[in-house]
Amino acid sequence: MENKKIFFSKRASGYLLGKKPMYFLAVLFYLTFAFLFFSFFIYSNITSANAIPANVETTVLINRFLNSPDCFAYVDEETGRAYPGIIDINKFNDEQIKKCYSAIDDNYYSFRFELQSTNINFKDCSTPNWGARRFNKISQYVLIYYGKTIYGETIYSGTLLISMQK
Amino acid sequence: MNKRGVSRSLFLIGEIVGAALIAVLLISNAMQWTSTERPYKEYLAKDIALSIDSIFASPGNIIVNYTGNLTDYSVNLTGNSVSIYKDDSEQSNKIIRNFVPSENIEISDATLEKPKNICLAKAGDEIFISDSAHANLNILSCDKLDEKEEKLKNKKILIDPGYGEDYIGESKKICNIGNSLISNIIIEGFDPLNILSTIKFDEGETRSLYCDHISKSDAPIDANAIISLRTGKYDNEKNSIKAFIISGSEKEKESKILACIIINSILSNKRLNDVNIDGVSIIPVNLETTNENFPKYIFLKEGEKAEDFEAANFNKIFVLLEIGNAESEQGKLLLEKVPELGNSIAKGLIDYGK
C-alpha cells in the first residue's frame, strides 16, 4: 500500500512520469549488466572446456617448420624425399618461413628460430607476425644439412632455439 | 471505466509485455549460449583446424580419416578457415576457426553437408576435404617453373611413340595414345605445324600418326620439347608409371617439372580410377649408362649417325614416359584407356607454365 501511495496516489500522479522511467532504467541497466556478465561467464567456460592445450598447438605448428619440405626440412633433389628433422641451412631464412607459414596478424602464434652449432655461424629467422611481446623459449636438438662439399653431403648437429608468442 | 483506469491498465499491460520480451530475449540468448550444440561445434571446428595444421606438417602425402561425428552438421573449408554449422538457415551461428595457410599449398574450397565420414588429405601441393578416402597418395609435389620460362604452346613438340622392332613398348596402342595426345593439344590451340613425330603422319589426316603401319619419319625432329611414350615390360604384377629425364641436361629442371605435371595429370584423371597404379617416379638417367632401349636417336639431327652422338644436343625438355607395366593385368587395363591417357598427357603439356 505504501508503494501504491508513492507511485499511483491521486495527489502525486506526477510521480508516474518521474519515478517509473528511473526504475525501468535502473532495471534495464542491471539486466543488461547481468546478461553480459553471465553470457561472458558461460562463453568463457565453454571456450575453456574446448581449449586445446597451448603446447599441443605449438608442437603441431613447430612440426610444420621441422618436417615440411615447404619449410626447413631438407629434400633430396634426386629422389624428392623430404627428411623430417633435418634442417636445410639454405632454407633457414625469413623468405622461406613466410612461404610456409603465412600468418600476418597476431591472432596466430608467432615464432622466432635461432640455429646454433659449433660448425656454422649463428643464424636466425622469424615468422612475419613476430613482434616485441612476451615470449616462451624452448630448445631442440636438430641435424643441419649444410650442402654438398668435396667430401660429399655435409650434415652437422646443432641446437634450434624456438621462441613463441601469441 | 474512467480515463485514469484505462491508462493504468494499458501501462500495466505494457509493463508485462516489456518484461516478457526481455525475459524471452534473455532466455533464448542464454539457451543459445549454453546449448550443448555450441560447445560441440566449437570443438569440431577447432579440432579440424588443428588437424589441417598437422597435415601441413606432413613431409609427404597423407590421408587422415577424421573420427569426429559430423552427421548433424555441415563443414565448410576455405583457404584459411574451417566453419561448422547445422544447416543453411543457421549461417549466422556458424563457428569459424582458422588454421595457418602456406603459400605453396593450395586449399581446395569445399562444403560437406552432414557427412558420414570425413577425410582430410594432402596430395602433392593440395590439401582437401572429402567424404571418402579417394585421394591418390602417389600425387607428386612439383617444383615451380621460373616465370620467364615460356609455355609449350608456341614451341615445337616432338611426339615419339617409338618405332622399329628393337624398342620396348612399340605398339599400336602407344601410337593411338600419341594420336589422342596430338588431337587434344591441337584443340587447345597448339599449332599443328609445330607438332612433330618420329613416325610418319597419316597423309589423309591432319597431324594424325599413321598407326596401322608404324615407320620412321624422315622429317626433321629438331624440337624444343620431346615426349617419348613407352610401356614397361617387367616380369611382375607391379604397375607403375615412370618418367625418365636426362640427368645433367640444361633443361633437366624443366623436364622434371613437365614429367611431374604429366604424372599428376594421369593420377588425377577420375576416368582412370578403376586402374590400380602401384607407384610413380621421376628418374634422372645418365645417357652413358643407358642401353639400346633408350631413344637416343631423338637427339641426332638429320644425317647424323650414332657415332655423332657425343655432339648431339641434349639441352631440350625431354620426358620418356613409361606408361605402366604391359606384362601386368592392371598395366594391360591401363593401356586400354587410350583416350583417357592421351587426354591426361595433353593436359600436362597444356598446364606446363600455367
Tens digits of per-residue pLDDT, B318-346?
A: 999 999 888 888 988 898 888 899 999 99
pLDDT tops 80 at residue B161: yes
Q: Quote the Cα angle for B298-B141-B286, to 5°.
A: 35
Q: Give the residues across from A156 on adjacent strands.
A: A144
Q: Is the dihedral of CA B243, B248, B249, B252 positive or negative?
A: positive
**Per-residue pLDDT, A64:** 92
pLDDT at B303: 61
* Contacts A52 to B, Cβ<8 Å: 46-47, 50
Query: B308: which 3 cell numbers?
Result: 655423332
- Among chain A residues, CA nearest to B36: A46
Q: Bridge partners of A164?
A: A111, A136
The answer to whether A8 contacts B8, with C-beta atoms less than 8 Å apart, is: yes
Angle at Cα A71 formed by Cα B259 and Cα B98, nearest 5°?
Answer: 105
> What Rg do the C-alpha atoms of chain A give, in angstroms?
30
CA quadruple B111, B117, B118, B124: dihedral sign: negative
CB nearest to B141's CB, from A63, A67, A69:
A69
Question: Could you state, in order of their start, the residue ranges of all structural domains in chain A?
Answer: 2-49, 53-165
**Residue B86, pLDDT score:** 83
Q: What is the pLDDT of residue B321?
A: 92
Residue B61 covered by a domain? yes
For residues B88 and B176, state if they share a domain. no
In a domain, B111, yes or no: yes
Which tens digit of pLDDT belongs to each residue from B219-233? 666 788 889 888 888
Domain count, chain B: 2
Give me the DSSP letters along B123-183.
Answer: ETTEEEEESS----TT---PPPPPTTSPPSTTS-EEEE---STTSTT--HHHHHHHHHHHH
pLDDT > 70 in chain B, percent: 85
Whole-number percent of chain B with pLDDT over 90: 11
Which of A43, A50, A108 is the best residue to mutate to test the B interface, defined by the most B CB atoms within 10 Å of its own CB? A50
Query: Same domain, yes or no, for B92 and B184?
Result: no
C-alpha span between B203 and A38 (Å, rounded): 84
Same domain, B175 and B297: yes
User: Is ipTM strictly over 0.95?
Assistant: no
Inter-chain contact B102–A99, Cβ cutoff 8 Å?
Answer: yes
Burial class (CB in 10 A: 0-12, 13-18, 19+), A119: exposed
Measured between alpha carbons, how far is B214 from B179 in angstroms, rounded to an integer?
A: 12
CA distance B307 to B310: 7
Q: How confident is the model at residue B261 (pLDDT cuts 50, 70, 90)?
A: very high
Residue A43: list chain B partners with CB under 8 A: 33
B122 and B207 part of one domain: no
Q: Are residues B326 and B226 in the same domain?
A: yes
- Asked, for residue B161, whether it belongs to a domain, the answer is yes
Please answer yes or no on whether A39 and B33 come within 8 Å at the CB atom.
yes
Q: How confident is the model at residue A117 (pLDDT cuts 50, 70, 90)?
A: confident
Q: Which residues of A touch B58 (CB under 8 A)?
A: 67-68
The strands making up A73-75's β-sheet, listed across from edge to edge, are: A73-75, A82-88, A136-149, A152-165, A110-116, A123-126
Q: What is the pLDDT of residue B319?
A: 92
Q: What's the grid cell of residue B14? A: 505494457
Q: Are residues B91 and B194 in the same domain?
A: no
User: Above 90 in pLDDT, residue B310?
Assistant: no
What's the pLDDT at B30? Answer: 67
Q: Are residues B185 and B270 in the same domain?
A: yes
User: CA nearest B125 in A: which residue?
Assistant: A70
Query: Is the overall model pTM greater than 0.80, yes or no?
Result: no
Would you call B5 an interface residue with chain A, using a CB distance cutoff of 8 Å? no
| pLDDT value of residue B91 | 66
- Residue B7, amino acid: S
Return the CA Rg of chain B: 30
Element holding B85 (H helix, E strand): strand B81-85
- Closest chain A CA to residue B248: A78
With beta carbons under 8 A apart, name residues in chain B contacting A80: 140-141, 282
Tell me: pLDDT of B166 over 50: no
Asked whether residue A19 carries a pLDDT value surpassing 80, the answer given is no
Q: What is the mean predicted confidence (pLDDT) over B22-44?
A: 76
Torsion sign, CA atoms B33, B35, B39, B40: negative
What pLDDT is stored for residue B341 in this prediction?
92
Looking up residue B241, the CATH number of its domain turns out to be 3.40.630.40
Quote the pLDDT of residue B51.
92
Three-state DSSP string of B22-55: HHHHHHHHHHHHHCCHHHHHHHHHHHHHHHHHHH
| Beta-bridge partners for B230 | B322
Q: Mind listing the pLDDT tens digit for each residue in A22-36? A: 777 887 788 788 878
Residue A7 sits at the chain B interface (C-beta within 8 Å):
no
Residues B182 and B107 grouped into a single domain? no
Average pLDDT over residues B148-157: 81
SS3 label, residue B285: strand
Is it the case that residue B266 has pLDDT exceeding 50? yes
Nearest Cβ partner of B105 from A38, A70, A81?
A70
Q: How far is A77 from chain B (nearest CA, A)?
A: 10
Q: Are residues B317 and B170 in the same domain?
A: yes
Tell how far CA A43 is from the center of its chain.
19
In 3-state terms, what secondary structure has residue A95?
helix
pLDDT level of residue B198 (50, 70, 90 thresholds): confident
Give the pLDDT band of residue B167 (cuts 50, 70, 90): very low
- pLDDT in the model for residue B200: 78
Work out the percent of chain A whose per-residue pLDDT is above 90.
24
Q: If you measure CA to CA, which chain A residue comes closest to B50? A: A57
Using DSSP, state whether A147 is helix, strand or coil.
strand
Chain B contact for A23 (CB, 8 A cutoff): no
What's the pLDDT tens digit per position in B267-293? 888 888 888 888 888 888 887 777 777
Q: Is residue B21 part of a domain?
A: no
For residue A1, the model assigns a pLDDT of 44
Test the B interface: residue of A37, A68, A71, A87 with most B CBs within 10 Å: A68
Residues of chain B contacting residue A81, judged by C-beta atoms under 8 Å apart: 60
**Residue B353 CB coordination number (10 Å):** 18
What's the average model confidence in pLDDT over B135-161? 79
In a domain, B99, yes or no: yes
**Which positions in chain A touch B141 (Cβ < 8 Å)?**
69, 80
Does residue B252 have a pLDDT over 60?
yes
Helix, strand, coil percent values for chain B (each to nearest 5): 35, 20, 40
Domain co-membership, B251 together with B315: yes
Q: What's the average model confidence in pLDDT over B78-104? A: 84
Residue B5 backbone dihedrals phi, psi, to 5 degrees = -65, -40
CB B330: neighbour CB atoms within 10 A?
Answer: 18
> Is A82 touching B (CB cutoff 8 A)?
yes
Q: What is the average pLDDT score of chain A?
A: 81
Q: How confident is the model at residue A2 (pLDDT cuts 50, 70, 90)?
A: very low
Q: Domain residues for B93?
A: 37-130
